[in-house]
Amino acid sequence: AFEGLSERLENSFKKLRAKGKLTEADVKEAMREVRLALLEADVNYKVAKEFTNKVTERAIGDDVMENLTPGQMVIKIVNEELTELMGGTESRLSIAKHPPTVLMMCGLQGSGKTTHSGKLALKLKKDGHRPLLVACDVYRPAAIKQLQVVGSQIDVPVFEMGTINPVNIAEEAVKHAKDHGYDYVIIDTAGRLHIDEALMEELQNIRSTVHPNEILLVIDAMTGQDAVNVAKSFNESLGIDGVILTKLDGDTRGGAALSVRAVTGKPIKFVGTGEKLENLEVFHPARMASRILGMGDVLSFIEKAEMALDEKKAAELEKKLAKNKFDFNDLLDQFEQIERMGSLKDTIKMIPGIGKQIKDEDIDERAFDRLRCIIYSMTKQERANPEIINPSRKRRIAAGSGTSIEDVNKLMTQFKQMQKMVKQVGGRKGPKVSKKMRR
């Protein structure tokens, strides 16, 4: 998803960045391009227009035009406004004061209600909860069976009463949950190919009977603006609390993700990124905005780096680089700097160019701690003169850090490569720590 949009935005930003100083006309021209890019990504017309108007207003006002890197500032504003457009911050599920928390899944047929009932159940289970799935789609013959298959895959029980009135099933299910200590009830309801009175009435009846804590509308991202229109109607006739946007892994242009919030006023809470029950992600507006801009969250990366990088340390490092000296103490410092920037995962994700290629599961925060442990097990002398670390020292370090000789060897190899790199950097004229980073 979003490749087309990202590419188009990147192109119009390239032009902006190339300019030393921006005129009002430059900004307006860039925003015309942004608007076209949004429309092409199937963003609602009004939403696209309001969005670019807002960015233009901010970019022309303020001191943006006077800024040294005005193009960069405009991109920063686009990033912020995209985030805002998608709701600003993450929206969590509300929780019942007295369990169970009742989640009601609704949406058109094929949008992904049954699959996402299962995904949510799995997520809740992993978080230590006891969810109960409820089969309230009594019209499609195989619907109950489908939910049972999903339930058995994740070992979550499914409450069903055959094909009786779904309002009664929902009511009985909540009672059952109370009696048996389930703290979440996930009601999988029926969908139709189109919104119709009968469907809405049934959903309204379930709602007024079990008073769900969350009515979650499941919409298919592949259907673009239609999905947004569906969301609007469901919200008007049923009232929804949030949206689950599914099939974001597919060939969607992404417009739904950008328009839903603006059109309905309701946030996207989760996104479905595949057919597997693990493929559910909490929706992070800021991260999504960065993904769309396709450049990692460059600006906040720089901001964080600026805050974290200690000025004195940076100056010391520069001196060492100039002398081609880089030892384990410096590496430890670097680790600390990264730590101050927040979670390793979040930090790496923000690095332009590589951030978006790295998945959460690729980053093992504990591996990072393991490296630190190894360095801590070195003597002062060893840290300052890594070349003295011979096999017997390695054995001692491995034992001291609770790691293996292989781990120590791996660190040594990586470290040597790092030293090489540092040498290259230090060998050039002037240190590589930029003025901007030091502020």
- What residues make contact with ligand GDP under the rule CB under 6 A? 107, 109-115, 191, 218, 246-247, 249-250, 272-275, 279
Q: How far is the CB of 419 from Mg ion (least distance, A)?
A: 58
Tell me whether residue 110 or residue 352 sits nearer to ligand GDP (CB atom).
110
Reduce the DSSP state of residue 101 to 3 states and report it.
strand
Q: Which residue is nearest to ligand GDP (CB)?
A: 272
Instruction: Confirm or deny that 246 is annotated as ligand binding.
Output: yes
Instruction: Confirm or deny that 434 is annotated as ligand binding.
Output: no
Instruction: Confirm or deny that 190 is annotated as ligand binding.
Output: yes
Q: How far is the CB of 196 from ligand GDP (least distance, A)?
A: 15
Helix axes 328-340, 298-308, angle to 10 degrees: 120
Q: Which does 259 bind (CB under 5 to 8 A by kind): Mg ion, ligand GDP, none?
A: none
Q: How far is the CB of 307 from ligand GDP (least distance, A)?
A: 37
Instruction: Confirm or deny that 113 is annotated as ligand binding.
Output: yes
With tokens 């939910």, the residue in question is 147
**Element containing residue 191 per DSSP (H, E):** none
Instruction: Confirm or deny that 226 is annotated as ligand binding.
Output: no
**Cα 373 to Cα 361, 399, 405, distances in angstroms:** 22, 11, 13
Tell me whether residue 250 or residue 391 sits nearer to ligand GDP (CB atom).
250
Instruction: Confirm or deny that 183 is annotated as ligand binding.
Output: no
Q: Which residue is nearest to Mg ion (CB)?
A: 114
Q: Which does 111 bind (CB under 5 to 8 A by kind): ligand GDP, Mg ion, none?
A: ligand GDP
Which residues contact Mg ion by CB under 5 A? 113-114
What's the rounded Cα separation, in Å, for the pair 62 and 341? 28
What's the rounded Cα separation, in Å, for the pair 401 and 372? 9
Q: How far is the CB of 110 from Mg ion (least distance, A)?
A: 8
Tell me whether residue 3 or residue 57 sits nearer to ligand GDP (CB atom).
3
Rounding to the nearest 10 degrees, give the CA dihedral for residues 431, 436, 437, 439: 110
Q: How far is the CB of 115 from ligand GDP (least distance, A)?
A: 3
From edge to edge, which strands make up the β-sheet containing 158-159? 158-159, 131-136, 184-189, 101-106, 214-220, 242-246, 268-272, 280-282
Instruction: Confirm or deny that 419 is annotated as ligand binding.
Output: no
Q: Which does 427 bind (CB under 5 to 8 A by kind): Mg ion, ligand GDP, none?
A: none
Strand pairing partners for 245? Answer: 219, 271
* C-alpha closest to that of 158 among 141, 139, 137, 127: 137
Instruction: Confirm or deny that 58 is annotated as ligand binding.
Output: no
Tell me whether residue 27 or residue 190 sits nearer to ligand GDP (CB atom).
190
Tell me whether residue 1 or residue 374 sits nearer to ligand GDP (CB atom).
1
Task: Report yes or no: 47 and 263 within 8 Å, Cβ to Cβ.
Answer: yes
Reduce the DSSP state of residue 215 to 3 states and report it.
strand
Q: How far is the CB of 275 from ligand GDP (least distance, A)?
A: 4
Q: Residue 392 burial (CB < 10 Å; 0-12/13-18/19+)?
A: exposed
Q: Which does 247 bind (CB under 5 to 8 A by kind): Mg ion, ligand GDP, none?
A: ligand GDP
Tell me whether residue 38 or residue 134 sits nearer to ligand GDP (CB atom).
134
Q: How far is the CB of 243 from ligand GDP (least distance, A)?
A: 13
Q: Is 324 left (phi over 0), alpha (psi -120 to 50) or beta?
A: left
Instruction: Confirm or deny that 130 is annotated as ligand binding.
Output: no
Q: What is the β-pairing status of strands 158-159 and 214-220?
A: unpaired
Tell me whether residue 48 or residue 143 sits nearer to Mg ion (CB atom).
143
Strand pairing partners for 268? Answer: 243
Q: Which does 58 bind (CB under 5 to 8 A by kind): Mg ion, ligand GDP, none?
A: none
Which residue positions form the known binding site for GTP?
Answer: 107-114, 188-192, 246-249
Which residue positions form the known binding site?
Answer: 107-114, 188-192, 246-249
